[in-house]
Amino acid sequence: MLIIGGVLAILSGFLMEPLLTQGSTWGVALFLCIELFLMGVTSAPMGALLPELFPTHVRDTGASAAYNLGGIVGASAAPFFAQKLVAMGGG
């Protein structure tokens, strides 16, 4: 499910330009609906996957540390790369 959700999330990026630049409220709403659905598809299985990666005695700590550190690293990298892309003429 995570692989399918990840691939669909990547492919949905190609919908960003046509749906968001047409100036339609419905286009923006459709794009947000698609993205929020895909966020649920990728986030929902994490509750089962992450705890299974760690032994029982460190399961809660390992799952919470992996989830939160992954979120911090992922969230901090996106603005950096966005700024670099704009500086290269993409904005």
The predicted model scores a pTM of 0.66
- Summarize pLDDT for 10-25 with one digit per residue, the tens: 999 898 888 888 888 9
What's the pLDDT score for residue 38?
94
CA distance readout (Å), 33 to 27, 38, 61, 73: 10, 9, 33, 25
What's the pLDDT score for residue 91?
58
Structural domain spans, the chain: 1-44, 48-91
Instruction: Return mean pLDDT, the chain.
Output: 89
Closest CA to 90 of 12, 16, 5: 16
Closest CA to 42 of 76, 78, 81, 12: 12
pLDDT over 90 (residue 33): yes
Share of the chain above pLDDT 90, in %: 44
16's CB contacts (< 8 A; 6+ apart) are 31
